[in-house]
Amino acid sequence: MTIKLNLNKKVDEGFEQLKPGTYEVTVVNFEPRIAGDKNIISVDYEIRSDVDQEFKGRKIRKDDFFCTENALWKIENASIAAGFTEQEAEFEKYSDWAKRYVGKQLAVEIYIEDRNGFKNERVKRYIPTAYPVAPTEVSEDDLPF
């Protein structure tokens, strides 16, 4: 395999940081991890392309949910904004909650945290989506087989 570089283009000036504000997002994945002695569910969002907003398709990475009773309020707020029902309110493990959270749509308010000279995008709060997508129902007559 040969790799050919295009050296006749303008140098990329870097990745434009999100602006503080509210974005309609879809939860795209999660990763359980451990930081010190803390269990964390780290969630990534994608800014929805089906909504007229800046930064369509961009990812918002590492929204951390600490797996403790004291931090349960954050999971509750995110779940309410994501439209969880009473039937979706009990889980055996935090990862079971995260699996249910993936694919949900909501809005998140972002702020920029300046820590040790690095500017990081952080989720400030969770808001129910203003653009719900109705589930598509497919009848047996629509199936080709």
Position 141 scores a pLDDT of 65
Residue 97 lies in a domain: yes
Residue 121 lies in a domain: yes
Which tokens in the block code for residue 3? 């790799």
Residue 30 lies in a domain: yes
DSSP secondary structure code for residue 82 in this structure: T
- Provide the residue range defining the domain that includes 83: 21-133
pTM over 0.75: yes
Position 7 scores a pLDDT of 81
CATH number for the domain that contains residue 37: 2.40.50
Residue 15 lies in a domain: no
| Mean pLDDT along residues 124-132 | 96
Residue 93 lies in a domain: yes
Residue 102 lies in a domain: yes
Q: How many domains does the chain have?
A: 1
The H-or-E segment that residue 40 falls in is: strand 38-47
Local structure of 104: helix, strand or coil:
coil
Residue 2 lies in a domain: no
Is 53 exposed, middle or buried (CB count within 10 Å of its CB: 0-12, 13-18, 19+)? middle
pLDDT tens digits, 71-127: 999 999 999 999 999 888 899 999 999 999 999 999 999 999 998 988 899 999 999
Whether residue 136 is predicted with pLDDT greater than 70 in this model: the reply is no
| Mean pLDDT along residues 44-59 | 96
pLDDT tier at 139 (50, 70, 90 boundaries)? low
Gap between the Cα atoms of 6 and 115, Å rounded: 36
Residue 141 lies in a domain: no
C-beta atoms surrounding 76 within 10 Å: 13
pLDDT tens digits, 12-43: 666 688 999 999 999 999 999 999 999 999 99
